[in-house]
């Protein structure tokens, strides 16, 4: 079983736990290497995609519809830093210190070093989920350094053609090539997450004295974190897609129109696991140099690959567990951490469920995605070093034959600090009869911290968010029959909103078990405006409490007059709002009628 990180997780220091009788088992923190979760993706022209992992060893192969299509063995014991599919269909792998060209069955066609000294460490400063990448064209291989602030340009046989030194010392994440179009020269784009910038170079000057022809500074939208541009994609029309990993956003720019920003996908800025939402997208690709066939996204935090069409609609989502050795046990239920997330408390790692009897398994605990030295038992005592980070436990299962699974990771388990948003301890749950005409209720769940200031909510049908449903109650309608309903909740405190937590789904049956009638909506607690009323900040409208499960609509008003285009539960304060009274008016509607309620006014002074 290969992989530099895998050796740290399973070899040498790990405690091996033997399963007696070969009995099967049961089921803004800093983030570094995401073991067992996808950190690289590349798409072939026929829609086949290849997925890479920090643990190395093998690539996962998915069909054009997201189905499992086997795996590809790797030739190096290193994490996969970047992937690309060449024009001939071969798979190129960036390992940080070297690059390989593989056939689709894993046969090594080319291998060459790209790092002086032949090594590139795997640590927080050289995280393969944050730095390094490559792009392959018909005549060259462009490699963004994971351990150097350069882009190396190589022939397919490994001969160095040119080396582009980037401004500053920060390492790049990705490189993308675009042809000349509409007066815009052919360009090479390089993202540098720690600088918050994307550099555009004219490809005609790359082998002489290359300097950026344009520097794109990724805008920090109100309410967003500091941008961290990572994966890139470009097309034949001059469009450029930039993934802002810190804000779970994909921004699009029109190059021929002076890089005019025109849209964002991913439902930023907060992470979520809903369909089409993101949680640390560390890789992004398009096929055949065009956006017409859509986008492949390595949604690392959610452990999946998503495929979006060219409009951003999710075609499919595929769980992307790292493949193991042939004949290795297959995970059927992820490891899970239980316990209270506070210093001095003991956490336990449930090794999860597997599809076959195990001879043994190895356990490793991670802090911020990197192994904690000596932490290889099922239990881990939370230390001060764990506070304000995310912990995870990984399990590597071994069959009696010696075949080993890839390290399989639990969900991230945040350990809150004094300045952390709330983290969920118990997920929300739905109560009530799931039949047309009935009212369902979504609990808040349990969150860290004593008193969250508010909750953000929503209801989903088959994973799609239903507009206007940000209330704890939901009236089931005939449109919900034969579908699954889920509720989502995010607790908010003075440090921001926590990651969205989803309830288990409930299936709406084909009968009518509700009352058949509910009363008119009735507001029983006024809406209120949450946030500091200063120019440039985002205010949120807490809708208050309502009876009879209405769908909610919003209008923001200045001095009593409705503000056009403000029909959402949030509003960015403008300079024109200074000295005026802002209120949010909430309208609740159900089949029996409607009701309205307004918040108290806030007056921006600055």
Tell me: the pLDDT tens digits for 116-167? 666 888 888 899 999 999 999 999 999 999 999 999 999 999 999 999 999 9
Cβ contact 133:122 at 8 Å: no
**What token pair was written down for 353?**
């469920």
Determine which of 29-43, 424-438, 573-587 has the lowest per-residue pLDDT on average: 29-43
pLDDT at 185: 96
- Containing 458, the helix (H) or strand (E) segment is strand 454-461
Q: Identify the pLDDT of residue 24.
A: 23
| pLDDT at residue 6 in the model | 42
Least confident of 8-22, 466-480, 517-531: 8-22
The pLDDT tens digits of the residues spanning 432-452 come to 999 988 999 999 999 987 778
Mean pLDDT calculated for residue range 51-72: 92
**Percent of the chain with pLDDT strictly greater than 90:** 59
Decide if 407 contacts 395 (C-beta within 8 A). yes
SS3 content of the chain, % helix, strand, coil (to 5): 5, 45, 50
The yes-or-no verdict on residue 565 having pLDDT over 60 is yes
Q: For residue 31, is pLDDT > 80?
A: no
Task: Check if the beta carbon of residue 153 is closer than 8 Å to that of residue 190.
Answer: no
**Are 182 and 213 contacting, i.e. CB atoms less than 8 angstroms apart?**
no
Mean of per-residue pLDDT scores for the chain: 87
Of the candidates 406, 407, 397, the residue with the CA atom closest to the CA atom of residue 359: 397
Identify any residues that bridge with 411 across adjacent strands, giving them in sequence order: none
* Model confidence band, residue 421 (pLDDT cutoffs 50, 70, 90): confident
Check residue 30 and give its pLDDT: 33
User: Residue for token digits 């881990």?
Assistant: 380
- Predicted confidence at residue 321, as pLDDT, reads 84
Query: Does position 11 have pLDDT exceeding 60, yes or no?
Result: no
DSSP state letters, 16-35: EEE-GGGPPP----B----T
Q: Specify the pLDDT at position 116.
A: 62
List domains and CATH numbers for the chain: 4-29+324-415 (2.60.40.2700), 38-319 (2.120.10.30), 424-507 (2.60.40.2700), 522-598 (2.60.40.2700)
In this structure, are residues 141 and 99 in contact, taking their beta carbons and an 8 Å threshold?
A: yes
The separation between CA 290 and the C-alpha centre of its own chain, rounded to angstroms, equals 23
Looking at the DSSP bridge assignments, the partners of residue 526 are: none
What is the per-residue pLDDT across 316-347, written as a single tens digit (0 to 9) for each?
A: 999 898 888 888 898 888 899 999 999 999 99
Q: Tell me, what DSSP letter sits at residue 224?
A: P
pLDDT of residue 516: 52
Residue 80: pLDDT over 80: yes
CA distance 105 to 522: 63
> Residue 17 has what pLDDT?
39
* pLDDT tens sequence across 178-205: 999 999 999 999 999 999 999 999 999 9
Q: How confident is the model at residue 575 (pLDDT cuts 50, 70, 90)?
A: confident
- Would you say residue 83 has pLDDT above 70? yes
Token code pair at residue 77: 């014991």
Q: What is the pLDDT of residue 509?
A: 81
Binning pLDDT at 50, 70 and 90, where does residue 44 land? very high
Q: Tell me, what's the pLDDT at 572? A: 83
Tell me the per-residue pLDDT of 199-233, one tens digit each, with 9 for 90 and over.
999 999 998 888 999 999 998 887 788 999 999 99
- pTM of the predicted model as reported, rounded to 2 decimal places: 0.74
The answer to which of 105-119, 335-349, 502-516, 548-562 has the lowest mean pLDDT is: 502-516
pLDDT for res 518: 77
- 303 vs 25, more confident: 303
Average pLDDT over residues 8-29: 32
């Amino acid at each position: 079983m290969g992989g530099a990180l895998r050796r740290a997780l399973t070899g040498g220091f790990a405690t091996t736990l033997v399963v007696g009788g070969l009995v099967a088992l049961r089921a803004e923190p800093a983030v570094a290497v995401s073991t067992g979760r996808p950190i690289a993706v590349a798409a072939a022209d026929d829609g086949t995609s290849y997925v890479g992992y920090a643990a190395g060893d093998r690539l996962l192969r998915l069909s054009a519809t997201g189905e499992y299509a086997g795996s590809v063995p790797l030739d190096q014991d290193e994490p996969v830093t970047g992937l690309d599919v060449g024009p001939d269909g071969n798979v190129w792998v960036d390992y940080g210190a070297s690059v390989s060209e593989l056939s689709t069955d894993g046969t090594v066609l080319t291998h060459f070093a790209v790092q002086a000294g032949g090594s590139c460490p795997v640590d927080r400063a050289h995280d393969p989920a944050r730095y390094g990448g490559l792009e392959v064209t018909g005549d060259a291989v462009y490699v963004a350094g994971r351990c150097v602030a350069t882009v190396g340009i190589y022939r397919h046989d490994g001969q160095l053609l040119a080396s582009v030194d980037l401004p500053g010392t920060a390492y790049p994440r990705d490189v993308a090539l675009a042809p000349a179009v509409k007066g815009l020269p052919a360009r090479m784009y390089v993202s540098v997450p720690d600088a918050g910038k994307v550099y555009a170079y004219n490809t005609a000057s790359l082998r002489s004295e290359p300097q950026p022809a344009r520097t794109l500074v990724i805008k920090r939208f109100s309410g967003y974190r500091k941008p961290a541009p990572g994966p890139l994609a470009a097309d034949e029309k001059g469009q450029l897609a930039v993934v802002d990993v810190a804000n779970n956003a994909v921004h699009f720019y029109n190059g021929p129109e002076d890089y005019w920003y025109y849209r964002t996908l991913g439902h930023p800025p907060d992470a979520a696991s809903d369909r089409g939402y993101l949680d640390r997208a560390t890789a992004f690709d398009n096929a055949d140099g065009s956006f017409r066939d859509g986008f492949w996204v390595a949604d690392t935090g959610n452990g999946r690959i998503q495929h979006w069409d060219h409009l951003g609609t999710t075609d499919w989502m595929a769980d992307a567990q790292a493949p193991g050795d042939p004949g290795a046990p297959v995970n059927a239920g992820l490891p899970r951490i239980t316990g209270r997330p506070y210093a001095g408390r003991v956490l336990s790692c449930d090794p999860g469920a597997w599809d076959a009897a195990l001879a043994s398994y190895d356990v490793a605990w991670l802090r911020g995605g990197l192994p904690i030295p000596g932490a290889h038992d099922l239990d881990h005592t939370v230390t001060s070093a764990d506070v304000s980070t995310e912990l995870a436990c990984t399990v590597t299962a071994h069959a009696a034959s010696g075949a080993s699974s890839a390290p399989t990771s639990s969900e991230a388990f945040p350990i809150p600090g004094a300045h952390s948003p709330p983290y969920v301890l118990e997920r929300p749950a739905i109560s009530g009869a799931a039949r047309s005409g009935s009212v369902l209720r979504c609990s808040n769940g349990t969150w860290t911290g004593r008193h969250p200031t508010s909750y953000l909510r929503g209801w989903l049908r088959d994973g799609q968010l239903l507009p206007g449903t940000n209330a704890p109650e939901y009236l089931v309608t005939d449109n919900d029959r034969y579908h699954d309903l889920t509720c989502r909740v995010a607790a908010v405190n003075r440090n921001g909103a926590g990651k969205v937590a989803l309830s288990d789904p409930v299936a709406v049956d084909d009968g009518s078990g509700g009352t058949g009638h509910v009363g008119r909506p009735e507001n029983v607690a006024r809406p209120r405006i949450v946030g500091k009323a200063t120019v440039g900040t985002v205010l949120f409208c807490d809708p208050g409490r309502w009876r009879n499960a209405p769908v909610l609509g919003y209008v923001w008003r200045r001095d009593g007059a409705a503000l056009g285009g403000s029909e959402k539960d949030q509003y960015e304060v403008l300079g024109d709002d200074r000295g005026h009274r802002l209120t949010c008016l909430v309208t609740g509607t159900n089949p029996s009628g409607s009701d309205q309620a307004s918040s108290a006014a806030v007056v921006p002074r600055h």
